[in-house]
């Protein structure tokens, strides 16, 4: 698999780099960003945190707004930030912000016209890690995190693949997409009208059926404008408590849905993941 480097920026002794490549999974050209911590200069392979962004976002949001690089450089963790959907002139799209390009929801679409390109689940779980581990000094130790739609993606991907991820975290995740307007709209388009098929991408349903647990951390702002209608963290909390699932859910007064919230607590998420990665990561 060939990749093309399109930008390089030194940051906290490491490097932020952007790449593009042709994705066989998504049938289009894709872009992703990587932060490589300074520890790679010692010749060791470092673990990776995959960050999944939310609706309308790209690989740039977390790298430019969260301040994630400072603590990642200290801990020796690479950050991998993919785009949020397939892109391009021949890729299906919609006029609304919550469907189509920029709104992949990290599922494998089964319905036309979306099923030609929208296989973000397979891209994140399979193709992208293969590319990362082939081209960079990054080990097979992985954690995953995300925000909003990306928080939904991180939780569902970790829950469906507990052997692949040491830990999972999320900011303001769409906790139960089968029970909110964003999820219902996207799942109807991508997966069809049969709601039984939606449950394979719903964190609460996956927790209910979990047999192997991945340690989970979720932070939610109490002043989030999407809290009640779209995010519904109480459903995630109830599912975790019923299953005795290792979920730490924190609420924060005054914080909203923005990257100001993420920047305020990103350090605690990185340190949480470091505790569950290799003992050499600290």
DSSP string, 131-193: HHHHHSSEEEEEEEEEETHHHHHHHHHHHH-TTT-S-EEEES----GGGSHHHHHHHHHHH-S
Annotated catalytic residue 197: no
Dist CA 267 CA 275 (whole Å): 13
Residue 22: CB atoms within 10 Å: 13
As a whole number of Å, the CA-based R_g of the chain is 17
Mean pLDDT of 209-232: 97
Q: Which of 66, 85, 148, 172 is catalytic?
A: 148
Question: What is the DSSP code (8-state) at residue 80?
Answer: E
3-class DSSP state of 252: strand
pLDDT band (50, 70, 90) for residue 80: very high
Q: Is the pLDDT at 279 greater than 70, yes or no?
A: no
- Hey, what long-range contacts does 62-66 have (CB within 8 A, 24 or more apart)? 62/147, 62/259, 62/262, 63/16, 63/33, 63/35, 65/259, 65/262, 65/263, 66/259, 66/262, 66/263, 66/266
Dist CA 74 CA 52 (whole Å): 22
Dist CA 177 CA 167 (whole Å): 21
Q: Is the pLDDT at 278 greater than 80, yes or no?
A: no
Dist CA 125 CA 25 (whole Å): 11
Mean pLDDT of 224-239: 98
Q: Of 53, 78, 95, nearest to 258 (Cα)?
A: 53
pLDDT band (50, 70, 90) for residue 281: low
Q: DSSP letter string over 101-131? A: TTB-TT-B--STTGGGT-BHHHIIIIIHHHH
Element (H, E) at 171: strand 168-171
pLDDT band (50, 70, 90) for residue 83: very high
Dist CA 62 CA 262 (whole Å): 9
pLDDT band (50, 70, 90) for residue 34: very high
| Whether the Cβ atoms of residue 136 and residue 118 lie closer than 8 Å to each other | no
Annotated catalytic residue 257: yes
Mean pLDDT of 172-200: 97
**N- to C-terminal Cα distance for the chain?**
32
Annotated catalytic residue 24: no
Question: What is the DSSP code (8-state) at residue 202?
Answer: -
pLDDT band (50, 70, 90) for residue 159: very high
Q: Write down the pLDDT at residue 55.
A: 98
Q: Which of 59, 224, 237, 273 is catalytic?
A: 224
Distances (CA, A) of 134 to 2, 61, 67: 10, 25, 27
Mean pLDDT of 14-38: 98
Mean pLDDT of 108-122: 98
User: What is the phi/psi pair of residue 116, to 5°?
Assistant: -75, -30
Element (H, E) at 237: helix 233-243
Q: Write down the pLDDT at residue 171.
A: 98
pLDDT band (50, 70, 90) for residue 1: confident
List residues bridging with 36 in a β-sheet.
15
Q: Write down the pLDDT at residue 282.
A: 47
Q: Which of 16, 119, 257, 273 is catalytic?
A: 257
């Amino acid at each position: 698999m060939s990749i093309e480097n399109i930008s390089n920026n030194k940051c906290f002794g490491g490097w932020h780099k952007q790449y593009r490549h042709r994705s066989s999974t998504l049938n289009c050209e894709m872009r992703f960003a990587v932060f490589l911590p300074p520890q790679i200069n010692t010749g060791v392979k470092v673990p990776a945190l995959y960050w999944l962004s939310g609706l309308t976002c790209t690989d740039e949001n977390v790298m430019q707004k969260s301040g994630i690089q400072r603590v990642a450089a200290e801990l020796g963790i690479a950050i991998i930030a993919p785009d949020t959907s397939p892109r391009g002139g021949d890729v299906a799209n919609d006029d609304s912000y919550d469907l189509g390009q920029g709104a992949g929801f990290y599922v494998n679409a089964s319905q036309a016209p979306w099923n030609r390109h929208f296989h973000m689940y397979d891209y994140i779980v399979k193709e992208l890690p293969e590319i990362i581990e082939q081209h960079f000094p990054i080990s097979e130790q992985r954690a995953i995190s995300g925000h909003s739609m990306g928080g939904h993606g991180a939780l569902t991907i970790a829950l469906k693949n507990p052997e692949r991820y040491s830990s999972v975290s999320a900011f303001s995740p769409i906790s139960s997409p089968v029970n909110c307007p964003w999820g219902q709209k996207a799942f109807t388009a991508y997966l069809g009208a049969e709601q039984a098929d939606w449950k394979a991408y719903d964190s609460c349903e996956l927790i209910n059926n979990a047999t192997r647990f991945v340690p989970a951390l979720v932070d939610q702002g109490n002043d989030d404008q999407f809290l009640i209608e779209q995010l519904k963290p109480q459903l995630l909390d109830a599912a975790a408590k019923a299953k005795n699932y290792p979920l730490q859910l924190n609420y924060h007064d005054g914080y909203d849905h923005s990257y100001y919230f993420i920047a305020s607590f990103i350090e605690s998420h990185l340190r949480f993941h470091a505790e569950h990665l290799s003992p050499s990561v600290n």
